[in-house]
Amino acid sequence: MELKCVVAIVRLDVVEALERKLGAIHIHGVTVTKVRGFGVHPNYFADDWTTEHIKIEIFAQAENVDALVKTIMDVAHVGAGGDGVVAVIPAEKFFRIRSQAEAIP
């Protein structure tokens, strides 16, 4: 079974709605981190070019990734700069530390 890691950088204001939507499609293992950065169009007029965003990381089976990405894109999209990005990365192996065994999320 193929495993992927979906990484999304989204605006702070979409996190609650996104968490609810992910629960509705039975995604329960999510890592959420506050991050700072800038993308294609940094604000050169500000003292600090970076803005706060949320980074979401989800390990999922490959057959669930398209629905997962679509959900993130639908919830996070407002059509403005700063909406965010989504990347899908192959995950070679996945281990549970508690059982010290390879596992499937």
The enclosing domain of 9 has a CATH number of 3.30.70.120
The CA-CA-CA angle for residues 19, 21, 26, to 5°, reads: 95
Give residue 28's pLDDT. 81
Position 104 pLDDT exceeds 90: no
Say whether pLDDT at 100 is over 90. Answer: no
Q: How many separate domains does the chain show?
A: 1
Q: What is the amino acid identity at position 32?
A: V
Mean pLDDT, the chain, whole residue set: 91
Q: What is the dihedral of CA 53, 70, 25, 11, to 10 degrees?
A: 10
Q: Domain range holding 36? A: 3-102
**Residue 89 pLDDT:** 97
- Residue of 104 and 65 predicted with greater confidence: 65
Residue 77 DSSP SS3: coil
Query: How far is it, in rounded angstroms, from Cα 53 to Cα 83?
Result: 10
3-state secondary structure of 43: coil
| Tens-digit pLDDT profile for residues 40-78 | 777 777 788 888 999 999 999 999 999 999 999 999 998
